[in-house]
Structure 1
Amino acid sequence: MPTTEESRAEAELASAEGWPGVRDGETMRFTDLPGMTLAVRRRAAAVDRLEPALFVHGLGGSSRNWSALMEQLAFDVECEAIDLPGFGASPPPTSGDYSVYGHTRAVIRLLDAGRRGPVHLLGNSLGGSIATRVAALRPDLVRTLTLIAPALPERLPRPGAIPTGMLGVPGVTRLLRRATRGQPPSQRAREVLRLCYGDPARITPQEFSAAEAELERRQRLPYFWESLGRTTRGLLNAYTLGGQHSLWRQAERVLAPTLLLYGGRDRLLGVGSARRASRAFGCSRLVVLPEAGHVAMMEFPAEVAGAFREFLTGATANAGHGGVADGRS
């Protein structure tokens, strides 16, 4: 396990060299917080005095997953996306805590340190479960909540999700590291994208190239497999929690207006989860994009941006009337 100083130096070197996928108009910065250093991707706002938004990526992803959507929303919100500890350009946490609560703590500390709250909080997959916990535990930090295919417990997991879940089994990542040692990053990047996209034909050459470069870069990091395996285990453990700590009970505690976005061709998450989520979140609007997969913000950024703007307009209007109406659809 590298020291904090070594991990920080590695991450800063990556930033100095140009972390794969950093687009024009984006910058990367590092924030030192108790027990962790976080990389944050920022998209320059197109106009002044926009409300802040924070984006939280999914399992195995990074802040780069939000680049297309942040570009679409440059006139709507001030966009920042976090690299969770051990992912993207963020070194691992000194505590070694990769649980959902550990990642939730990282998001809360970042918001507290930057004094940016309340923010429009957006999360995808694992990032959706983290964002749910943030909104439930610290409602003062969340203006609105947008969840894209959030990782919430399902009674019957989709077949496509089983191989991902296996990463949380002790020893599996060690076997995978050996088995994939000679596998080119291009092959693994293509497999991941094909699993996450509803229509693999929509994977652009630019997206594939960026995903391949980032994977190649991350596989050289000494903590790559550990962060992936332990975060998967942390998510599976969160699925088993009952009572007040269950993710569904946390969803019921969320006070912020919530937009739920699901893909009709999601191989990792069933539509039944969307219906349950629309009932669990007290003030929510459900939007299903029929052709989208698990990462709608990458596959259909314009459509997701349009749904977010419409949701934002409704939430603002309702807040102006002294309350928030149920906007389910």
Structure 2
Amino acid sequence: MTETDRPEIGSTVDASGVQTNYLEAGTGAPVVLIHGSGPGVTAYANWRLVMPALAGRFRVLAPDMAGFGFSERPEKADYGLDLWTEQVVGFLDALSIDRAHVVGNSFGGAIALRLAAQHGDRVGKLVLMGSMGVDFPITEGLERVWGYEPSFENMRGVLDVFAHDRALVPDELAEVRYRASMQPGFQESFAAMFPAPRQRWVEAMRTPDEQIRALPHKTLIVHGREDKVIPVDNSLELMRLVDNGDLHVFAHCGHWVQIERSADFNRLVGDFLADDAA
């Protein structure tokens, strides 16, 4: 198999000095999808059910963030919000996009918040799904995700905390994600990002409350009620902080709203982004 046969590998641009792999589909207003921070994650793994649905209405762009997927793993990189936020700005610049709607999942939500706070003119509407970005005591689920050590059994355990319905994460998926996490460089960069003690990385991913309160952007906040990785209270807090923020909580749903409730998520987000009055 060649790299061109792999759906997770798309085009590459230099985004603020980071060679960035990204996927693209559709035409129209640009929408940037920012993935989460699970082991072996790629933009494709995170957004494979979302991109085809939104591509009928928007130009959808999904980059692999620095240190993840098939983007560059810069030597001695200082992984953190500053690096990832500037990568998104550079990504928009490289594609000559002045302004885009931004959808952030979990860790990606923290990046989206920081982007909106520091480069508000580059962001249209904002969608935050199971988002970090505010203070919370680290959950057992997030400890398991960030503390992942490569093995099939450990990946099985990670996937079990992501999805509310275990049927959505069969052993076959665990095997695929385990193999993905073992690709050259993947685990090395992942292990360097969130070493113990990990509460400090929760705090490092936050945007100050006063900056969140100042955001003028129309914002859709989405969460799964049974999320074991990022507590639903995060989204309740974001709803209180974001002046133009609406909250939608999905029942019988864990951290993978875009997979567990994909049709509902795609319809909700698509309508929100398309509605001029939203």
Residue of structure 2 in register with 1:54 after alignment: 32
Q: How does 1:312-327 map to 2 (within 5 A)?
A: 312-314=273-275, 316-317=276-277
Deviation at 1:281, TM superposition (A): 1.2
Gaps of 5+ in 2: none
CA deviations on 1:30-88 (whole Å, 9 max, x unpaired) are: 11244310000122x2xx5x111110001132101101011111222111101011211
Match of 2:43 among 50, 63, 82: 63
Cα distance in structure 1, aligned partners of 2:79 and 2:85:
10
Alpha-carbon separation, structure 1, partners of 2:219 and 2:134: 18
The question of whether the paired residues in 2 share the 8 Å contact of 1:98 and 1:227 is answered with no
How far residue 142 of structure 1 moved from its aligned partner, in angstroms, is 0.7
Q: How far did 1:240 drift?
A: 3.4
Distance in 2 between the 1:55 and 1:218 partners?
A: 21
Counterpart code for 2:179:
E
Higher radius of gyration, 1 or 2: 1
Within a 5 Å distance, the mapping from 1:1-329 to structure 2 comes to 15-16=3-4, 18-19=5-6, 22=7, 28-43=10-25, 45=26, 48=27, 50-60=28-38, 61-64=41-44, 65-94=46-75, 96-165=77-146, 167=147, 176=149, 180=150, 183-184=151-152, 187-203=153-169, 208-209=172-173, 212-213=175-176, 215-221=178-184, 223-232=185-194, 236-237=199-200, 239-240=202-203, 246-314=207-275, 316-317=276-277
The residue number in structure 2 matching 1:324 is none
Q: Secondary structure of the residue that 1:91 maps to in structure 2?
A: coil
Aligned to 1:76, the other structure's residue is in SS state coil
Instruction: State the TM-score, normalizing by the size of structure 1.
Output: 0.74
Higher helix share: 1
Q: Structure 1's 29 and 241: CA in aligned 2 closer, same or farther, altered over 3 A?
A: closer
CA-based RMSD: 2.7
Change beyond 3 A, Cα 1:188–1:231: same
Residue-by-residue CA offset, 1:289-316 (whole Å, 9 max, x unaligned):
01211121122111111211332354x1
Q: Name the stretch that deviates more: 101-110 or 303-312.
A: 303-312
Aligned length: 274
Sequence identity of aligned pairs in percent?
Answer: 24
Residue of structure 2 in register with 1:4 after alignment: none
User: What's the TM-score, normalizing by structure 2?
Assistant: 0.87
**Unmatched tracts of structure 1, length 5 or more:** 1-12, 168-172, 319-329
Partner of 2:226, secondary structure, is coil
Amino acid of the structure 1 residue aligned with 2:256: V
Whole-Å Cα distance in 1 between the matches of residues 136 and 219 of structure 2? Answer: 23
CA contact (8 A) 2:215 2:243 kept: yes
Aligned 8 A contact 2:92 2:98 in 1: yes
